[in-house]
Amino acid sequence: MPSGYLALDFPLLWVPALLVIGLVIGSWLGVLIRRLPEGRAVVFARSACEGCGRPLRPIDLIPVVSYLRLHGRCRDCKGPIARFHLEVELAAAAVALWAALGVGDDISRLSATCVLGWTLLAASWIDMRSMLLPDVLTLSLLLMGLGATWRLEPEAVADHAMAAVVAYLLFRAIAYAYVRLRGRDGLGAGDAKLLAAGASWVGLAALPNLVLVSALLGCASALALRLLGRRLTGTTRIPFGPSLALAIWLIWLYGS
């Protein structure tokens, strides 16, 4: 894992390029977030207006710029384009910049950190929108975590693989206990897979902190919802993926 709290040795000339890459990735993530839960094609299908279905022209696919030029509307039907596309693009760029501040100019670590952050961003957004954590994201993240470990710390691969197994079994045990006590499901299998994926990145020693931080963030999110006026009961479903994703990100960047 990265070991610093703030990397100030990152070349400033790289910042514009990194932000552009983040915006481009964010544009694709917006498509993924909308289509993946619906089982629609993500990789090879052309981007199209969600209202009229017309394929978007290349000039309409420039991140941020196209949205602002068209005032958030389709060029053809003038229907509104969901603002969340702009939000995802900006968030992905922010993730790239945060990654650079966290790991500095080590290209291997920076690349791994950006991939981690962007995948967590997509998983969180999907969970907030649909209460789902798709296997294709969580399992891919697990494999990427082991791959990143093999690339950066090859001697730690076995430890990180064990961490993933322990994390999954621990979460499933907690979920089973919850069902026995409350008589209903309260913790999703997707959350268990995301925790296992996160453990494959941070390792066995960091697993207790990962569990603790994610639990604290989950409580904080529930409190924030109450403060914002949302009525919460014992059966209210709150997505845990965003809290878990943020915990993975923080432990990866600052956990050692």
The 10s digit of each residue's pLDDT in 60-91 is: 778 898 888 888 888 878 888 888 899 999 99
Spatial separation of the C-alpha atoms in residues 65 and 91, rounded to whole Å: 15
Instruction: Say what the pTM is.
Output: 0.89
Residue 220 confidence (pLDDT) = 92
CB distance 198 to 244 below 8 Å: yes
The helix/strand/coil state of 73 is strand
CA angle 251, 252, 256 (to 5 degrees): 70
The helix/strand/coil state of 210 is helix
Name the DSSP letter for residue 43.
S
Instruction: Give the distance, in angstroms, between the CA of residue 154 and the centroid of all CA atoms in the same chain.
Output: 25
Residue 81 confidence (pLDDT) = 81
For the chain, the domains span 14-254
Q: At what angle do helices 107-130 and 14-35 cross, to 10 degrees?
A: 30
Residue 164 confidence (pLDDT) = 98
**Residue with tokens 């596309």, as numbered in its chain:** 85
Helix residue spans in the chain (DSSP H): 14-35, 65-69, 84-103, 107-130, 135-152, 157-182, 189-202, 207-227, 241-254
225 has pLDDT over 90 = no
7 has pLDDT over 60 = no
Residue 242 confidence (pLDDT) = 95
Spatial separation of the C-alpha atoms in residues 169 and 174, rounded to whole Å: 9
Residue 4 confidence (pLDDT) = 47
CB distance 253 to 102 below 8 Å: yes
| Main-chain phi, psi angles of 95, to 5 degrees | -60, -45
